[in-house]
Amino acid sequence: MSHLENSVIPSPSPSRFAQSLCMDLKQAETPTLGFRSKDHLSPTWREDAPRMIANLVEEFAAIYEHILDLRCGDGLLGAELHRRGFHRITGLHDDEPELRLAQARNHYQNLVHSKLKAPLPFLPLSFDIVTYTHLDQGRFYKSLLSHICRLIRPGGHLILTLTEAVYQYAPFQNFIKELLLGGNWTWAFISVPHPYRSGPERARDALVARYLVFEILDHSGMSKKGRTL
C-alpha cells in the first residue's frame, strides 16, 4: 500500500465514471482498442493512454476550455481530443521531428517546441486543463510539477499519467501531500494501476501506470462545481 493511501488525505470517492474508466482499462487489453506508436511500423504496438486521458478530459472539462498537452509527442492525444470536439489544444514537446508529425495531424491550435523544464513558455493561469505523462521510472521533478500547477486556472484540472514506480516514490507522495494540505488543490480521480500498453508488446514492456486528476480550488476553498472542501 502506498504512503498516500496510508495518509490522512482522502482519496476521491468511487463514482460511475471511475467504474467506467476501470472497465475501459480492462477492455484495453484488446489490441484493436489501442493506438499505434509514433512510427506506425509495428502493428502490434499499442498505446491506450490517449483514450484514457481523453476520457478524463471529457469528464472534467467543458468543450470550450483550453487544454495544454505537455509532452504531446506526435499528437495522438490531440487527435483523440479533436475527434471528441475539443479544439482549444496547445501542445508542447522537446523533439522537433515528433512536433512536425503532430503539426501534420492539424489538431492543435498551437504547438510549442520547448524543453520540458521550468519555467515553461506560458503565463500563469493560462489553461483550464493540463495533461502530463511522466514515465520516467523512479524519478520526480518537483520544480516542474510546481510550475505546471501555477499554469492552471481555479476550477481547472491537472491530469497526470505516472508509472507506478513514480507514484510509490516517497518524494512524489510527499509533494502531493504538501499540495493537498496547502488548501488549493483536491483529489478528483485516481485509477488503479494498469499496464501502460496493450497487445503482444505488453509482455516485453512491463510499464505500469496510474491516471491521477487534481482540481485547483479558488481562494474560498470552493471547487468549480461549488463543493466546499
pLDDT in tens, 14-61: 444 444 444 444 443 322 223 333 333 233 334 578 888 999 999 999
Q: What is the pLDDT of residue 209?
A: 86
Q: Can you tell me the distance from the alpha carbon of 46 to that of 36, in angstroms, rounded to the nearest whole number?
A: 5
Mean pLDDT across 118-135: 92
pTM: 0.77
Q: What is the pLDDT of residue 205?
A: 53
Residue 149's domain comprises 3-216
Q: Can you tell me the distance from the alpha carbon of 47 to that of 38, in angstroms, rounded to the nearest whole number?
A: 10
**Residue 228 domain-assigned (yes or no):** no
Q: What is the pLDDT of residue 101?
A: 95
CATH number of the domain to which 126 belongs: 3.40.50.150
Stretch among 52-56, 80-84, 85-89, 135-139 having the lowest mean pLDDT: 135-139
Task: Cite the beta strand spans of the chain per DSSP E.
Answer: 35-36, 46-47, 67-70, 89-93, 110-113, 127-134, 152-163, 185-190, 194-195, 197-198, 208-216
Nearest residue to 229 (alpha-carbon basis) of 9, 15, 17, 2: 9
Q: What is the pLDDT of residue 48?
A: 74
* Sign of the torsion angle spanned by Cα atoms 191, 168, 152, 47: negative
**Residue 222 domain-assigned (yes or no):** no
How many domains does the chain contain in total?
1
**Residue 167 domain-assigned (yes or no):** yes
pLDDT of residue 65 exceeding 80: yes
Task: Give bridge partners of residue 90 from the DSSP assignment.
Answer: 68, 110
**Residue 229 domain-assigned (yes or no):** no
**Residue 154 domain-assigned (yes or no):** yes
Using DSSP's 3-state secondary structure scheme, residue 58 falls into helix
Q: What is the pLDDT of residue 26?
A: 42
Mean pLDDT across 142-166: 90
Cβ–Cβ < 8 Å for 68, 131: yes
Q: What is the pLDDT of residue 33?
A: 27
Of residues 79 and 22, which shows the higher confidence score?
A: 79
Mean pLDDT across 114-130: 94
Tens digits of per-residue pLDDT, 158-183?
999 988 888 888 888 898 888 888 88
**Residue 32 domain-assigned (yes or no):** yes
Q: What is the pLDDT of residue 154?
A: 94
Classify the phi-psi angles of 88: left when phi > 0, otherwise alpha if psi is within -120 to 50, otherwise beta.
Answer: beta
> Quick one: pLDDT band at residue 3, thresholds 50, 70, 90?
very low
**Chain centre distance of CA 224:** 19
**Residue 226 domain-assigned (yes or no):** no
pLDDT of residue 124 exceeding 80: yes
**Residue 98 domain-assigned (yes or no):** yes
Q: What is the pLDDT of residue 36?
A: 33
